[in-house]
Amino acid sequence: MTLRVFGMSFVVSIAALIAAFLYGGTTAMVLTLILGVLEVSLSFDNAVINATVLARMSEFWQKMFLTVGVIIAVFGMRLLFPLMIVWVTAGLNPVDALDLALNPPTDGSPTYESIVTAAHPQIASFGGMFLLMLFLGFLFEDRELTWLSWIERPLQRAGKLRGISVVVALSLLVLTATYIAPDDETSTVMISGALGLITYIVVNGFGELFHVEEESSGGPSGLVKATGRAGFFLFLYLEVLDASFSFDGVIGAFAITADPIIIALGLGLIGAMFVRSITIYLVHRGTLSEYVFLEHGAHWAIGALALILLYSLGTDVPELVTGLTGLCFILAALATSLWYRRQHVVDDVHI
């Protein structure tokens, strides 16, 4: 099973490294490998959250996620998205933007990297609010099993207040725009953050709407797989979620290289493929049901990432800090899951 799930990722990764070598020699190949490893190591929380959604989807939509979804992740987010930023903010069409990226100016005019980096306020506020809404939706949801119970249980009771997630998210957005973001970016942060919040509500709302309709057609809800419109909106939700996770990765990649081809090969072909393979592996092995707090840890990692994105509007945050924060939550959740399993095995034996 492992070979079947990860086999294509290894094949694509080898092809990406060969392409990088033909494109820019050994240096380009090494940079591509570094970007790929970083993307995989920093995106495990993304894979866990993806797995919770993917488990609700039919086999057809799971395959769509691994095929069409990869194309969107590679060419959409890792290649076209930065070019579109340059297109919108600098008035350059995508072809000229690509030419600017491949041929950096030497006369002191704005570079491709500087233009994309300058769009950080819009990117961070949009992605931060989308991920924050995902975290708050989980935090205020009523669940039997809690991880950080001293925090989660009181917040679950608060979750009975209708619209509490939106109230908290908007309050943090206002505080961020007022006290953290630069003065000349206040309106930009407010608009982009509001769009991130609206996007989450719309996409997640449609996904839940059609998922409920599918479940009501018959059969136990735990066995129903989303198909048709339900599967499409869950697929769309996953793609927006993946985009939100990749925002900081794309910007952070410029600390290593500004070449869009290398970024697409490393973050996209290698990184995105392996993240998707890990997602499928988690679904097929039933890892989330076996390690019961892994989903909790992933959501807390998402909450941390959302706050870091909003905080980064006023202060630079190293990519390593972002990745290690998420990794700590995942490892802590894994450790407590193992402890929980041992305790319940002992209890079952005594019974």
Output the CA–CA distances (angstroms, integers) from residue 138 to 150, 182, 194, 303, 331, in the order listed.
Answer: 15, 30, 20, 10, 19
Spell out the long-range contacts of 338-346 with Cβ–Cβ below 8 A and sequence spacing 24 or more: 338/291, 340/292, 340/293, 341/290, 341/291, 341/292
Question: In terms of Cα–Cα distance, which of 53, 84, 89, 83 is closest to 69?
Answer: 53
Q: Which residues are paired to 144 by β-bridges? A: none
Count of domains forming the chain: 1
Give me the domain span that covers residue 126. Answer: 2-350
Cβ(275)–Cβ(39) below 8 Å:
yes
Question: How do residues 286-310 score in pLDDT, each as one tens digit?
Answer: 777 788 888 898 889 889 988 998 9
In whole angstroms, give the CA distance from residue 321 to residue 316: 11
Q: Is 80 helix (H, G, I), strand (E, B) or coil?
A: helix
- pTM as predicted: 0.78
pLDDT in tens, the chain (351 residues): 667 778 888 888 999 999 999 998 999 999 898 888 877 777 777 788 888 888 777 788 888 877 787 778 767 777 777 777 777 777 777 788 878 877 878 777 788 778 878 888 888 898 889 889 989 988 898 888 889 888 888 988 888 888 899 999 999 999 999 999 998 899 999 999 999 899 888 877 776 665 544 444 333 334 445 566 777 877 887 887 777 777 667 766 776 777 888 888 888 788 878 888 888 888 877 777 788 888 898 889 889 988 998 998 988 887 778 778 888 888 899 899 999 888 876 554 444
In whole angstroms, give the CA distance from residue 195 to residue 132: 13
Q: Report the largest interatomic distance among the alpha carbons of the chain, rounded to a whole angstrom.
A: 78
Quote the pLDDT of residue 189: 93
Quote the pLDDT of residue 219: 34
CA-based R_g, the chain, Å? 21
Quote the pLDDT of residue 223: 40
Quote the pLDDT of residue 307: 92
- CB half-sphere exposure, 13, CA atoms < 13 A: 21
> Residue 19, Cα to own-chain centre: how many angstroms?
26
In whole angstroms, give the CA distance from residue 298 to residue 201: 20
Q: Is 258 helix (H, G, I), strand (E, B) or coil?
A: coil
Quote the pLDDT of residue 263: 84
Question: In terms of Cα–Cα distance, which of 254, 288, 318, 309 is closest to 124?
Answer: 309
Quote the pLDDT of residue 227: 62
Quote the pLDDT of residue 278: 84
Quote the pLDDT of residue 213: 45
Quote the pLDDT of residue 216: 41
Quote the pLDDT of residue 122: 87
